[in-house]
Amino acid sequence: MKHMTLPELQFLDNAQTLGADDILVVGLAKNNDTIEVVSTGLDSDLVTALTTQAGLIQADGAPDSTWRIPSPEGCAASSVVLTGLGSNDLTIDVLRQAAGSAALALNGPGRLVFAIEAKDEEHTQAIAEGALLGCHRVTKLGLSPAKTPPTIAVVGSLALPRITQAQRGAEAVWQVRDLVTMPPNMLNPSSFVEHVSALAKGTEVSIEVLEEKELEKQGYGGITAVGKGSQNPPRLMVLRYQPGSPTRHVALVGKGITFDSGGLSLKAPNAMVGMKYDMTGAAVMAAATLAAAALGSPAAITAYLCLAENMPSGSASRPNDVITILGGKTVEILNTDAEGRLVMADGLQAASATKPDLIID
């Protein structure tokens, strides 16, 4: 898979020196029947002109909505985007969503200048995060990314640690999105391992992979039972991040069913569509571990990614089969479409054996 590059992130004192390659983004809120342009770093005449134009096009400031309008006289940007804030309750989530909606509505190179009012650094960070998240595009398979992402500029100031948090957080979400959008004929347990290994290359995260024979040997009966019906054998991928003198040990356990047909307890055709997303838990845990390492987390992290493909075949697990999961407990399978709890039982047992301070699944 060809991955897009995270956009450049800039911070500006104001938005009064824009150019023809810039698109200005401001917020639009509605209180009772009055619309209000929510902005920072703009002169009052421009804010008045934007408010007038918003009224002319009947923009109502609804969340998840954007309106692109020509730049008023005196504004050098190529155009202006009004992004809906709902009521004027500018929470972190509202700002992040509004910035993301604006970036998602725009495409191509250039610079997006976000001049949305933020009361403190935490709110400024939310705008930056939303803008970065909204720039993600699913790339066509086998091709280079279709377009160069725009530069993101935010009017406001942000300390370097917060800038890094915004960038690494967005990068982690991009990684998850790239994995979950891959089709199941291209993403199976083995190729999942390859993709995550490539992402971890050059980081402080070490990798251990248990293949089918080793899983059987060590007693991972849940993962092997789920994967035995597929021609793509199961895997357990373990990611480890170990800082010096860690403050605590956190274990992450993620479900990684790269496709869930239901096995012999076969899903209905319509219910099978979208079952490529059943590996999202494992993708999230992998990205979280990589982000923690990039941010220099003081906690040690071990992530257990339980990878299998749940398919029907002559070798698949059957209802009424009795299996032994890791740790020695026996389980009777009544429905092969309840595969998630089987792979997670193995992963949770493996995590518990290390006696971490916290387990998140």
Give the residue numbers marked as catalytic: 267, 341
What DSSP state is assigned to residue 164?
H
* Alpha-carbon gap, residue 221 to 226, rounded angstroms: 9
Please name which of 190, 270, 183 lies closest in space to residue 227, comparing C-alpha atoms: 190
Q: How many residues does the chain have?
A: 361
Burial class, 246, CB count within 10 angstroms (exposed 0-12 / middle 13-18 / buried 19+) = middle
57 Cβ neighbours under 8 A, 6+ residues apart: 67, 69
What letter represents residue 18's amino acid?
L
User: Which two tokens mark 231?
Assistant: 């021609």
Distance CA 205, CA 181 (A): 24
β-pair type (249-260, 358-360): parallel
